[in-house]
Structures are given as C-alpha cells and as structure tokens.
C-alpha cells in the first residue's frame, strides 16, 4: 500500500483544548483518524507524526520520505520561519500539501507568511479538519 506521511508541528498535540475558535474542537487523534479514513478510499496508508521540535520533524522526514509517495504537513509556527524545514521538505522531492486549521491570512500579519509553502504543491488554510481531507484528495489527484 502506498504511504502518505502526515506531519504536525509544535503545539498541535494540544488540539481540542487549544483555542477552538481558530483550531476547531477536534483532537489531533481525531483529525488523524479522519485523514486515515479518507486516505483508505484511495488505498493509501497514513504514517502520522507530531513533534514540538524542529529537528525531530526534519529527522522523521529524512527517514520516512523514502517510503512515501507524498506528504501532508501542518508545520505550526515553523511555517513562518523554518528554512531548515523548507529545505528538508524540498529535498524529499515528493508532492507536499501544507495545511493550516485556521485562516492564517486573517490573523496576525506574521502568520500570513509561509516560508515552507514554496516546497509544496498547494497550501490549504482556514478549513479546520476539512483541510486535511482536501489535502488527501489533492494528493490523489496529483498522483493519478
């Protein structure tokens, strides 16, 4: 079965408790479960990983990218300043969709800037958990 790496950056382990107005009320586990359900429709397996540490995300990318056909990532705050994560994403040479639960264009000015987005085929924001479902569909369409 083809694999998609689903990555979550800092503080996303607190979903369900953390500012539901911006991030929704679902836990990270529930979002992962919904993503797994959608991926099964296309015969994809999801490998999920969350870390609050930039280096851990990069290490996981470097290990898992060789076994995956695509990546879905919510880099959290690393979105706005992690050129190291950008480089690691680019180095995978895989199709990547960046997802943000909140509408990053309607929040603080610094949140509207994504240094990781240029490594991605698309960016989805402001759709809460539905963004992850859309990302799976984008990848399936891209890989056709």
Catalytic residue chosen out of the listed positions 8, 44, 86, 100: 100
pLDDT of 47 reads 98
Coil, strand or helix at 141: helix
- Tell me whether residue 132 is one of the annotated catalytic residues: no
Which pair of tokens denotes residue 55?
């280096």
Q: How confident is the model at residue 123 (pLDDT cuts 50, 70, 90)?
A: very high
Q: What is the tally of structural domains in the chain?
A: 1
Report pLDDT digits (tens) over 44-58: 999 999 999 999 999
Is residue 100 annotated as a catalytic residue, yes or no? Answer: yes
| DSSP 8-state code for residue 18 | S
Backbone angles phi, psi at 72, to 5 degrees: -115, 130
Distance between CA atoms of residues 5 and 77, nearest Å: 19
Query: Residue 102: its pLDDT value, please?
Result: 79
Structure pTM? 0.94
Catalytic-labelled residue, pool 8, 23, 44, 86: 23
Domain with 107, as residue range(s), is: 2-143
Give residue-wise pLDDT tens across range 62-113: 999 999 999 999 999 999 999 999 999 999 999 999 999 878 777 777 777 8
The CATH number given to whatever domain includes residue 11 is: 3.40.50.9100
Residue range 30-51: average pLDDT? 98
Q: Using CB atoms within 10 A of its CB, is residue 118 exposed (0-12), middle (13-18) or buried (19+)? A: exposed
């Amino acid at each position: 079965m083809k694999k998609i790496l689903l990555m979550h950056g800092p503080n996303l382990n607190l979903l369900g408790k953390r500012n539901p107005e911006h991030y929704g009320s679902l836990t990270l586990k529930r979002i992962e479960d919904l993503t797994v359900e959608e991926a099964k429709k296309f015969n994809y397996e999801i490998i999920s990983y969350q870390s609050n540490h930039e280096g851990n995300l990069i290490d996981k990318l470097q290990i898992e990218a060789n076994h995956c056909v695509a990546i879905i990532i919510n880099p959290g705050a690393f979105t706005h300043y992690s050129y190291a994560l950008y480089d690691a994403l680019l180095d995978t040479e895989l199709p990547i969709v960046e997802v943000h639960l909140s509408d990053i264009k309607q929040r603080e000015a610094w949140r509207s800037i994504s240094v990781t987005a240029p490594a991605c085929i698309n960016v989805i924001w402001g759709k809460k958990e539905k963004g992850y479902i859309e990302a799976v569909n984008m990848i399936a369409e891209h890989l056709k």
